């Protein structure tokens, strides 16, 4: 599948099974995520793999959007030590983590799995339940699993702006 085909095939899958995801698929997803570029290659992010039933139970206390998955990834950005653009001191930690998260999300699709980028979660509660996340800006949660038999893209999934609306040539 070409990258364009992969990008178009990916959708926010909101119906997942809790079937075990094979370790080799998890490994490839994480390898794709850490291959993401970061500003000055400083890599100030962490990915937490939420695998155990206890950890998933804690995660479910922070969001209603786990969609039946038995596996999830949380991506966080560490601002301290990340690249600061010298002209305006813009810190790139969250941008870098979002690039990592995008790689992860597309790798999930490439493995024949489903996910959605979950931004609706109680970050302070997540940090309370998982103290290892406390010093991070939490970017997203990705529940991961095999799409349920009746999973399908949302009605608006294929609606996109025309290139002429989205791109300005200078």
For residue range 42-62, what is the model confidence (pLDDT) as tens digits? 999 999 999 999 999 999 999
Is 156 inside any structural domain? Answer: no
List C-alpha distances in Å: 57 to 16, 132, 143, 147.
16, 17, 13, 20
The answer to whether residue 7 sits within a structural domain is: no
Burial class (CB in 10 A: 0-12, 13-18, 19+), 102: middle
**Average pLDDT estimate for 137-144:** 98
**This prediction's pTM:** 0.95
Q: Give the Cα separation of 145 and 153 in Å (integer).
A: 15
Average pLDDT of the chain, as a whole number: 97
Name the domain count of the chain: 1
Q: Which two tokens stand for residue 146?
A: 């095999």
Whether 123 has a pLDDT exceeding 90, the answer reads yes
In a domain, 26, yes or no: yes
Residue 167 lies in a domain: no
What is the full DSSP assignment across 64-122? Answer: S--TT-SEEEEEEE--TTS-B-TTT--B-HHHHHHHHHHHHHHHHHHTT-BB--B--S-
Q: At what angle do helices 93-110 and 23-34 cross, to 10 degrees?
A: 140
At 26, give phi and psi (nearest 5°): -60, -45
- Asked if the structure places residue 154 within a domain, the reply is no
pLDDT per residue over 90-114, tens digit each?
999 999 999 999 999 999 999 999 9
Residue 158 resides in a domain: no
Range of the domain at 75: 12-148
Inside any domain, residue 153: no
Q: Is residue 1 part of a domain?
A: no
Q: At 85, which CATH number? A: 3.40.109.10
């Amino acid at each position: 599948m070409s990258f364009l085909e992969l990008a178009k095939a990916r959708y926010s899958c909101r119906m997942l099974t809790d079937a075990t995801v094979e370790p080799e698929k998890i490994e490839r997803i994480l390898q794709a995520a850490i291959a993401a570029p970061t500003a000055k290659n400083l890599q100030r992010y962490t990915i937490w793999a939420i695998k155990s039933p206890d950890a998933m139970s804690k995660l479910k206390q922070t969001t209603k959007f786990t969609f039946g998955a038995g596996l999830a990834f949380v991506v966080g950005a560490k601002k301290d030590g990340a690249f600061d653009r010298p002209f305006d001191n813009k810190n790139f930690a969250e941008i870098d983590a979002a690039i990592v998260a995008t790689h992860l999300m597309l790798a999930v699709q490439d493995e024949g799995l489903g996910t959605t980028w979950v931004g609706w979660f109680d970050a302070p509660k997540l940090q309370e339940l998982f103290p290892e996340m406390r010093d991070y800006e939490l970017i997203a949660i990705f529940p991961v699993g095999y799409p349920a038999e009746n999973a399908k893209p949302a009605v608006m999934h294929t609606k996109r702006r025309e290139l002429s609306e989205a791109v300005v040539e200078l």
